[in-house]
Amino acid sequence: MIRYLVLAVLTVCLLTHATATEPPPVEVKHLDYKSITKANDWIGLKFPDALPRDSVSRIILTQLKPVGIPGTADDKLTDQQTRDIASGLMRTLFSETGAIHKWGQLAEEGEMAELVIVTKSGKIFFVDVLRKTGEQNANAFILRGSGFSVRLTVVRDSED
């Protein structure tokens, strides 16, 4: 009997609450489809064609996880070593990457560094530098922009 009474009270409470309250306001998120489809426009292009060097205002190395630099503790890099690493990463990004793909990070890859690219027009791109587990050199880059993400794989000569 008590169960029926509790069930009846609960039903009355739910019915009165459901009819007495206004539905919550719904927020509609507007997506910038032009920036999202920009990744589709970049598929198959080389990085310098998608983002020419002369359009870049600044490149900033924001994070570095060095591993295996002989004679240097990972957190004790000199400014010159940091500059050399950043220059090497940018040289690799602009000259040694293949075509842009719609792929993300692979399971055997870890983040090595992060770069921020600021263009002269004020656009900001984040670049995750990836390397395979156990290797020292970068093997791919993930370029993230406003609403999109693309992958650039490093293509090295067969002699390496």
pLDDT tens digits for range 22-38: 666 766 655 555 555 56
Which pLDDT value is given to residue 117?
Answer: 92
Which pLDDT value is given to residue 160?
Answer: 42
Q: Residue 113 forms beta bridges with which residues?
A: 64, 129
Q: Residue 145 forms beta bridges with which residues?
A: 148
Which residue do the tokens 């598929």 mark?
A: 43
Which pLDDT value is given to residue 159?
Answer: 45
Which pLDDT value is given to residue 149?
Answer: 84
Alpha-carbon distance values, 124 to 32, 91, 149 (Å): 16, 19, 13
CA distance 135 to 46: 24
Q: Residue 117 forms beta bridges with which residues?
A: 59, 125
Q: Does residue 158 register a pLDDT over 50?
A: no
pLDDT tens digits for range 8-21: 877 776 666 555 55
DSSP conformation class of 75:
T
pLDDT tens digits for range 57-114: 988 888 888 665 554 455 677 888 888 888 888 889 999 998 998 877 888 888 889 9
Q: Residue 126 forms beta bridges with which residues?
A: 116, 144
Q: Where are the domains of the chain?
A: 33-154
Which pLDDT value is given to residue 118?
Answer: 92
pLDDT tens digits for range 115-152: 999 999 999 999 999 999 888 888 999 998 877 888 99
